Structure formats: C-alpha cells, structure tokens
Structure 1
Amino acid sequence: MGATYCDEELPSKNFALASTDDRRFTKHIHDNVHGNIYIDPLSLKFVDTEQFQRLRDLKQLGFSYMVYPGAVHSRFEHSLGVYWLASEAINRLKTYQGLELDIDHFDTQTVKLAGLLHDLGHGPFSHTFEREFLPRVCNGQKWSHEEMSLKMIDHVVDEHNIDIDSESLKRVKEMIIASENGTSKSFKEKLFLYDIVANGRNGIDVDKFDYIVRDSRACGLGCNFQFQRVLETMRVIDDEICYRAKEYLTIQKLFAARADLHRMVYMHAKVKAIEMMFVDAMTKANDVLCISSYIDEPAEYWKLDDTILKAIETSSSQDLKESRDLILRIRRRELYQFCNEFAVPKDKLEYFKNVTPQDIVCSQNSSHPILHEEDIVVSNVKIDLTRGRNNPLESISFFKDYESNEKFNIKDDLVSHLLPTSYQDMIVRVYSKKPHLVEAVSEAFENFQLKIYGKKAQVHATPEKKKRKRLRHICGGGV
C-alpha cells in the first residue's frame, strides 16, 4: 500500500501533555506521495479503530482500476495525506502569522482531525454508491457521505471512549461539511480555519491538493499543479485565506488538473460502463442483501466496503444469479457497449435537462429492432471547475505582496486571453446493454440530437458504423 506503519513504538508518556509538534510522541508512517507523515497521539486513537481501518478496503477511485491498473490506492492513504497537508497548512500559517491570528493547540488539533476524518463515511466504490446506487433504492431519501462521516465520528468516539471535548468535536465536524454548508456560523472567530480542509468559499483546499497529485500519479498521468507553492504563499487577510497574485496561474492549474482527471479518469467512458453494470448488480441484489438498510446506523454502516462485490460474486444463492451474471460480464470484459456521445452546446447548458432512456426510445427508427428502456443506459456527465458554469477564480481573494494588507479579485482577461472562456462541459453518453442493439441505439440517439438541437455531433462512431463505412468505400458506395 502507499502508506505503511513503521516498526517503532510510541513512548509511554502522558500523550495529553505532549505537543502535537513533538515527533517523539508521534507515530511515523511513510507515504508514497508526501514521504514521512507523523500522526499525533489523539489522531492515532482514531486511526487505530476498525471504523477507520475500513478505509483500507475502499478504493479511492472506485472502478477506475479496471482501466488504469495502478489506481488501486485507498481512502485510507488519502485520509492520511489530507491529515498531513492540513497539518502543514496550519503550521505554515502559525509560523508566519501565529501571533497575529492567535493560532493555538485547539485550532491545530481540530484542523488535523478534520483532515483525517473527512472521508470516514464514504461508501463502497467511491461516489458510485452515493450518487448512482442509493438514489435508485432509497426513493428520494437524501444521503451524503459527509453527513455519514459526522455520524461515524460520534460513533467512534463513543465506541472507543476517545477523550475529546465536545467543542473540539463540534468544530471538527463543521470543518468537514464546510464545503457543503459554507463557512461556520457558530464560531465567530478564525473562520479562515474552515478554508483548509473543505473550502466552501472557493474550493481551494488540502483535500484537492492530495487527491489530484495522488490520483494523477496512480494513473500514470502527468500533473503540473504544484500545491507546495500554494501552501508556501497563502496568507490570512480579513479572516480569509488569500493567495499571492503571482500564483494566479498556479491556482488555475489546480482546477484544470481536477477537470482533466474527471475527463480522463473519473468519467472515462469504460469506467462509467463498469460502474453502471455494478450499480445494476447491486440494485438487483439489494432485496436479498438489504444493502441500503446499512446506511442509517454507523454501527452497521462501517461493515460496508468494496468486498461486497466479491460477496455477491461468490454467493451460491439463486436469488443473486442476475447480479452474479453481471459481475461475471465485468470480469470477462463483456461490458455495456458505448454507442455514442454528444457535447451539449454551450448556449444550451443553462436549460439542459438530463437525457433519459425514454428520450432515446422515443427517437428510434422503425427499421431497427424495437428498443425498450431497459435496453439502454444514459450517462449525463458534468465536468466543471467546481463552480458550475462560473469561473471559480473570481471568488478567490489575492494579495499583491507580503507588505500589503489589501485583498482583491482578479479577472481572467487581466491575466491572459488564453484562459478558458467556458467553465463547464455536459456530455451525454449512451450505452446499449445488449451488443446486437448497438446500431439501433446509436441511430436513435442521433435522431434525438437532431430533434432537440437541430444537428448531430458524432464524436465516436460505433464499430458497426466504422465497418459499414469501410464496406461503402470498398464497394464504391453500394452498401
């Protein structure tokens, strides 16, 4: 794995009295991205629980490893990485502005714990469980891994009698959901601390710093984003973390690198095909295994991890045969067949509605075999820079130099005319569950494009279409 324990033991001291910066009282772990990581005694109490160790059995990138074989790193490694970067961030601020900002042990400890525990409530196979599977089986019930992380933290504290005061626990949990709920309202001071782990103001946080570098490396992709420069140059002005104006393009690369990972890895056409097959398998298995019943209670939820795939695959239950058959198809690479995709025009994004299998069925040709909704899968893929159709850099505060106490925003056109003018892509992909229907589904999808947008944009021809074009060329257009 990317993060491994070293053999050295902790000194037998009163950990509560030890400084979190004193490495004599920490656990030493070597990480393949950040090098040596030191876990303080309180954080280690959380790490050494079965609930946190469960993260070893959750792949960070879900099914991406079936396209990128190296993408087998876990949420465990990522969580340690975010812990370490949160520690680095708060310590840098303390070094440069500690007296001015009055950063104390309470602040340092809560920021580090928030980084460590932010993904404690993640489900199997990355976001597939939360965004694809649960909406199908939970009848509109709202559920998020962030909220489950908060429940899991309370459960771990109670289950293992971890000595942490209620105010620290409250702040840790608020920092974890800061990106969802915005900046904390219950703490009137030091709001800049909420910008570190899950930044609700502008999306620049150590969570992204870690997964962008870690995921790029695991998939063998280059990454020209240098988070070290951002950490070194950040500064707090008016209770907000701001960045040196000279680092504008460095920060722009953060969002560009994230978008590239979505396009090339997270939303890869074959990765999505595998995810959709697994979601179908899980949905069919839900009545038998009651998978969705685990999501309400942390005492049950922590038992869910990626091994659920193997549990279905090796079960002898006749009730799970359909699910087993789907997983067998995944193993044998007999995937749902990609038919075609269409990029929604920029001027249509504001009013775009997700395309459904019903839309495709209603656009089919009578000359082809009759299509049914259950034959088709549609994936509506949204890729943006964290702020939808808006430029995230417009909500970032910069400063000129270290002598200045004034913060300001920067417009793209003041930096370069080569920067993007659009900040969101919406790609509609259509798949056929049955190989013999690929051509019919592809034609129906093209008809749908013509009906809705008055044009078709065939990005990828299906194998059948390529074959027909070759035959037309060989036969002089007679086929």
Structure 2
Amino acid sequence: MLPEIQSLYQTGSLVRIPPAQDVPMSDRVRRVLDTSPIRRLASITQLGMVSLVYPGATHSRFEHTLGVYGNAVGVLARFAGDAGFESMVDDRLADAFVLAALLHDVGHWPFCHPIEDMRIAELGEHETRIGGWIERSELANCIRDDWACDAADVLSLLCPGSVRPSDHTSGHRFLASCLSGPIDVDKLDYLQRDSLHAGVPYGRNFDAGRLIASLCIHPQTGALAVGDKGRTAAEMMVFSRYIMFSEVYWHHTVRAATAMLQRCVFLLQHRLDLESTLGMKEAEWIANLRRSAEGSVAEPLAEGLFGSRRRLYKRAAEFNAVDGDQVHGRLARKPYWWLVALAERLAGSLSSKSGVVVHAVDVLVDAPPVKLEVDINMDVIGRDGTTRTLGDVSPVASALASQQFDNHVKRVRVFLRDDVRDEVLNKISAGELTFLIMEAIDALESELA
C-alpha cells in the first residue's frame, strides 16, 4: 500500500485545509512540498482577478495543489483492492499519479490563464514548463531518491499528447483521464475551493465524497466513468461548473479586469521580457508590470488594476450565443491580436459617431478564447452494466451538452474606459453600438481577407 494511503488513517500524518479537509502527509510528500517550485505556488493566487469582485478569493495555488493531491490519494484509495485496477496500475504508475497531482500547477506563473489565452507564441502553455522546473530544482533529487517513477512518467500523465499513442498503457490512459477529463481530481477541488473562498454556494452543491466513491473503470474504453449511484452527484457537479463559470470566472467585472490585464500585457510584451517574468512571485510580477507601464499608454490599465485606486473599465455591450449570436458567433475564438485590431477600429468608429474622443486603448473586446473547456459529458455505468452518457440520463447535463460548454457561459463583451463609456452611451443607442461593432467586424475581415 502506498504510504500516502496509509497516512489517510493516521491522525498524526494529516494536514487540515479548508473546508475541513484532511490531506495525508507522508515523509516523501513533505519533501516535495518543501521544494522551491512548490513553495512558490503559495505566492500565486488561484483566481487572479476574481478577488477584485469577490474579495475573499485570495487563496493560493499551493492550497489548491494540496486539495488536488488529496483527491488523487482518495481515488487511489477508492480502487485499492480492485483487481481490474491493480492489474493495470503498478507501483511505478501509482507513484507517478501522486506526483502528477502534486506538480500539476508547478508550471504556472502569475495570471497564467488569461495570458495563455492570448496565445503569445514564445510562451506556450504552463504544462510544457513542468519538466524544466523539475530538472532545474531539488525536485529532481526528490523524485530520484523517494519515488518508484521518474520525471518522464509524471510528464506523460500531465501531457499525454506528448507521448506516442502506442506507449499509452490502459493504466496510463485511466490515470490521465483522472487528472484531466469531464470529472477529474482538479475540478473536484477547484469548484468547491473557489466557491468557498469567493463566498458563493454555487460550486459546493455536489457531493464530492459520493462522486469519488462511485468512480469506476469504463468496461469498454478503460477510462474513468461513474457508477449509477454517483449519477446525481455528477449531474450536480456539471451544473455547479456551469454556474461557477457564469457567475464567478466569467462575471462581467472579472472579465473587465481580465481584459485590462491582457491589453496591458499585449502593449508591454516587448518591454516586459515575459519569459524572464515566469518564475516570479505574484507581487514581484505586478511590481514589474507597473514599472514597465510607466509613461506608456498601458500605465492607466496597470494602475487601474494594481494602483492605489481601483479603476476598472465598464461594460458597454454584451452578446451571448442565443440572443446575440450575430456578434458572438463571429468573435468567439478569434485570435487575441484580431480582437485588439477590432477594438482599435471600433474606437475610431465610436469617435466619429458620438463626437467623443475615444482612443484605441479605451476600447477592449473580450471574447471566448481559442482554447475550449473540457467537454462536460462522461459515461455512466448502470447497475446492469449498460453504458450511457451523462447527457442521456440527466436532463440538466443534456441541456448543457447540446451546445459547446463555452458558448453557454462565455459571452462577448465590449468594455470602455469608465468615463468614456458614460459619454459614448449618452450619445448613441445600444442598437447603434451593435451596428458599429458589426460594421467594424466586416471592415476588418475584408481588410485581412
């Protein structure tokens, strides 16, 4: 039995984290947690801009890491003694799974997700940086001395696309789906933890313990599935995720702050030397951004976010995939540089139409990014062994699965600098603003054709 599972039942080997969760601590896990790459996560907030709207949402990626690791141990404990599981997951792979849960966020830098969404070519995604953090730190010695796997085993679970399909064993595929899938150890933690710290109930309305207890191995694909007893918990988790995106992660004020940060980084990307900032703690990163913005058109953006007085852009227009699809459908998943070009063109149109001076940096266009969220659907295994998707047995999941998840929860919004917004909307109607947006889209598409 893995020492981490043994620690589950030893009161002296547990660490308490919110909300009243006991996380098992073996000696080798303590050594990993004491390394500099993991300790750095304590200085990076989990939700970034969300705390500007929900002040309690200042918890760290380190706390989240402990929660994900605790869930991973819970999954292994759930399958302990299961002959099918043990036939495909040996000690080496189980060790790699525990480490993958501990290290899954090591590649993160401050405000990582919104910057990743910009697709700045040289940065790539944070998962691709985990190997470098391992190699350049004491983590390499920890893994070599204490664990039955190596760094390559860990990376193959975190980045399964980097491994040849022929090298994927059934155990590898199963554990990779436990780390990233419709229901995984990451989502099981962040939905509840983010909801707790934001002070909202939306992400805590599902029974995580029941869900973990009902996990099973899909009889045909070998991936993670849910037994019939966990169907309701899975249904509630799907709905919780939908509401958390709608009301927290994509709250219009959170997105205004996010759009300000993205434009600031876009304007300063050559001044910042982004690559050199990826190892910084969050406070250092913010100080560096503010210094870089001094005297530039990006300074009001940086100071509005991180200065002594909060000053956020305001929503001028909003379009969803149902009522506003004529705009949403044309802007969702456009490259970030394209949205900046549209904002600059729209600034000129607004100036001409309203008579108000609108500078290019006064307009921000926020749209669902290129990268899609993981599909919400997964298979439910009935008591008689029949397999159906969650959407087939749940009207809630069926409704959410009928369109791509992002289109339900991620809206297209146009933000204007606060004082400019008020002046412009006093001069032009909502219909006229929509017409100007469509006109600017048409003109930009024609120019780039």
Given the two structures, how large is their TM-score scaled by the length of structure 1? 0.74
Q: What residue in structure 2 maps to residue 215 of structure 1?
A: 194
Q: Quote the residue 1:375 is aligned against.
A: 362
Provide Cα deviations, 1:93-148, integer angstroms capped at 9, x if missing partner. 1234467635432232111111110000111024123224xx4xx4x336101111
Matched, 1:193 2:199: no
Please give the per-residue CA displacement for 1:386-436, whole angstroms capped at 9, x wherever unaligned: 456xxx32xx222212xx5x4512374654489525443342111112613
**Is 1:30 paired with 2:16?**
yes
The aligned residue for residue 447 of structure 2 is none
C-alpha change, 1:94 and 1:385, in structure 2 (3 Å) is farther
1:130-209 → structure 2 map (5 Å cutoff): 130-132=116-118, 135=119, 138=120, 140-141=121-122, 143-156=124-137, 160=141, 162-163=143-144, 167-178=149-160, 185-190=166-171, 191-199=173-181, 203-209=182-188
| 1:324-358 deviations in Å (ceiling 9; x for gaps) | 65443334122222222122337666665546314
Structure 1 residues 250-259 or 431-440, which shifts more? 431-440
| 1:62 to 1:244, Cα distance in 2 relative to 1, 3 A | same
2: distance between equivalents of 1:440 and 1:254? 41
In structure 2, the residue matched to 1:8 is none
Identity score, percent = 22
For residues 329 and 145 of structure 1, what CA distance do their matches in structure 2 show?
27
1:72-471 → structure 2 map (5 Å cutoff):
72-97=58-83, 101=87, 103-132=89-118, 135=119, 138=120, 140-141=121-122, 143-156=124-137, 160=141, 162-163=143-144, 167-178=149-160, 185-190=166-171, 191-199=173-181, 203-222=182-201, 223-236=204-217, 237-238=219-220, 239-283=222-266, 286-290=269-273, 292-294=274-276, 301-313=278-290, 319=294, 325-330=300-305, 331-345=308-322, 352=331, 354=334, 356-358=342-344, 360-361=346-347, 363-364=349-350, 366-381=353-368, 386-387=373-374, 392-393=376-377, 396-401=378-383, 404=384, 406-410=385-389, 412=391, 415-416=394-395, 420=399, 421-422=402-403, 423=405, 424-425=407-408, 426-433=410-417, 435-440=419-424, 443=428, 446-447=431-432, 449-450=434-435
Q: Secondary structure of the equivalent of 1:95? A: coil
Please state whether the residue corresponding to 1:163 is helix, strand or coil: helix
Q: Which has the higher helix share?
A: 2
How far residue 192 of structure 1 moved from its aligned partner, in angstroms, is 1.4
Alpha-carbon distance in structure 1 between the residues aligned to 2:372 and 2:241: 7
Counterpart AA for 2:234: I
Distance 1:251 1:417 in 2: 11
Change (3 A) 1:386 1:371: same
- C-alpha contact (below 8 Å) 2:379/2:390 kept by paired residues: no
User: What secondary structure, in the 3-state scheme, does the structure 2 residue paired with 1:429 have?
Assistant: strand
Give 3-state SS (helix, strand or coil) of 2:81's partner: helix
In the other structure, the counterpart of 2:445 is none
Q: In the alignment, residue 223 of structure 2 is paired with which amino acid? A: E
Once the two structures are superposed, residues 210-265 of structure 1 have per-residue CA deviations (whole angstroms, 9 ceiling, x without a partner) of 00000011111112122211110111134222212343342132222122112211
Residue equivalent to 1:469: none
Deviation at 1:361, TM superposition (A): 4.0
Unaligned residue ranges in structure 1 (runs of 5+): 1-16, 296-300, 455-479
**TM (normalized to structure 2)?**
0.78
State how far apart, in whole Å, the 2-side matches of 1:257 and 1:373 are.
38
Count, aligned residues: 413
Greater gyration radius: 1
Cα distance, 1:278 vs structure 2 = 3.3
**Structure 1 residue 88, shift from structure 2 partner:** 0.6
Higher relative contact order (CA 8 A, sep 6+): 2
